[in-house]
């Protein structure tokens, strides 16, 4: 499911609803972060979950049921709820639960909306820094700060204009589990920066690219990316160049101008066709 630039714009009121909903979810998670009255446990896949993850997702689901009862919903904690409209919302109530449980204020609240044309709305909320990256198909990408949720007052996001791979500011997410071949190849060509907040950094132009190559991401982790990155002028795929929502859940996000060069760099690696085996350390 690639991003369709020439599809009709998404409804502005629906985008505004999504923004305000995620802001409320962010306040819930912030209260949980500072309140501390919760426990975490390991799920079957080894990832962490807390009562706050579950409560935030249940809140978002309830609000979606009230506003758009015919739409489907997929959430990290509650799974899939079928709808009749052919449209779907994707929820990651706390993206970065490990940050949350270790009291590191870098988690986000993520929401995406998909219609008959594909990705239509993406919202990534950083509740403790009070910033939100928001995009609607055909409506652009904006960064909102503080308590002002008016899309018209947000700063318009735009990717960088760098065209050469040499020295490109490239963010790495969780590089400890990366294949040595990939780290070495990138280190020789680009300027690597370990960092969170990859999408916000890219769409505001201070990073030129970002790579996630460790354990596979979940669909809910990547669902907001196509519309946010696309509306800011960038491009997002997996490391092999496949649209990110159809790929192996690795992530390559760039300003667009650098994308083909990054994909070629990965393709030139030994065993690049067996990329997931490399990422899993096999």
- Say whether 221 counts as a known binding-site residue: yes
Report the side by side order of strands in the sheet with 251-254.
191-194, 169-173, 209-212, 251-254, 235-237
Question: Would you list the DSSP string of 206-222?
Answer: S-SEEEE-SSPPPHHHH
The full set of domains in the chain, from first to last, is 12-156 (3.30.540.10), 169-279 (3.40.190.80)
60 labeled binding residue: no
Mean per-residue pLDDT, 205-232: 92
CB-based contact 170:207 (threshold 8 Å): yes
| pLDDT-based confidence at residue 276 (cuts at 50, 70, 90) | low
At residue 45, does pLDDT exceed 80?
no
Q: Is the pLDDT of residue 243 over 60?
A: yes
pLDDT value at residue 248: 86
E strand residue ranges, 59-168: 72-75, 79-81, 88-95, 108-115, 118-126, 131-136, 140-145, 155-156
CB atoms within 10 A of CB 30: 17
Q: Tell whether residue 91 is among the known ligand binding residues.
A: no
| Confidence at 273, pLDDT banded by 50, 70, 90 | very low
Question: Which of helix, strand or coil describes residue 95?
Answer: strand
- pLDDT(262) > 80: yes
Q: Global pTM?
A: 0.92
pLDDT of residue 47: 80
The reply, when asked if residue 58 is annotated as ligand binding, is no
Question: What pLDDT is stored for residue 178 in this prediction?
Answer: 79
Compute the distance between CA of residue 211 and CA of residue 259 in angstroms, rounded to an integer. 11
State phi, psi for 232 to the nearest 5 degrees. Answer: -90, 0
In this predicted model, what pLDDT tens digit does every residue of 108-129 receive, in sequence order?
999 999 999 999 999 999 999 9
């Amino acid at each position: 499911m690639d991003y369709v630039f020439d599809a009709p714009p998404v409804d502005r009121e629906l985008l505004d609803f999504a923004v305000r909903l995620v802001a409320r979810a962010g306040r819930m998670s912030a209260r949980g972060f500072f309140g501390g009255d919760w426990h975490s446990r390991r799920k079957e896949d080894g990832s962490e979950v807390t009562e706050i993850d579950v409560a935030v997702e249940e809140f978002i689901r309830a609000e979606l049921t009230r506003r758009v009862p015919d739409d489907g919903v997929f959430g990290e904690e509650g799974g899939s709820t079928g709808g009749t409209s052919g449209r779907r919302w994707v929820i990651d109530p706390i993206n970065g639960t490990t940050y949350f449980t270790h009291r590191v204020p870098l988690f986000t609240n993520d929401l995406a909306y998909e219609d008959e044309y594909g990705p239509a709305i993406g919202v990534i909320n950083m509740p403790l820094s009070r910033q939100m990256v928001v995009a609607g198909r055909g409506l652009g990408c904006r960064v909102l700060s503080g308590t002002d949720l008016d899309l018209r007052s947000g700063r318009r996001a735009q990717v960088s204009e760098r065209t050469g791979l040499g020295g490109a500011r490239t963010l790495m997410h969780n590089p400890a589990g990366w294949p040595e071949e990939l780290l070495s190849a990138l280190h020789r060509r680009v300027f690597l920066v370990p960092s969170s907040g990859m999408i916000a950094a890219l769409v505001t132009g201070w990073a030129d690219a970002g790579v996630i190559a460790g354990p596979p991401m979940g669909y809910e982790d990547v669902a907001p990316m196509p519309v946010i990155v696309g509306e800011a002028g960038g491009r997002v795929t997996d490391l092999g160049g496949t649209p990110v929502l159809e790929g192996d859940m690795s992530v390559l996000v760039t300003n667009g101008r650098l994308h083909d060069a990054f994909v070629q760099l990965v393709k030139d690696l030994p065993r690049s066709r067996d990329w997931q085996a490399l990422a899993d350390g096999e």
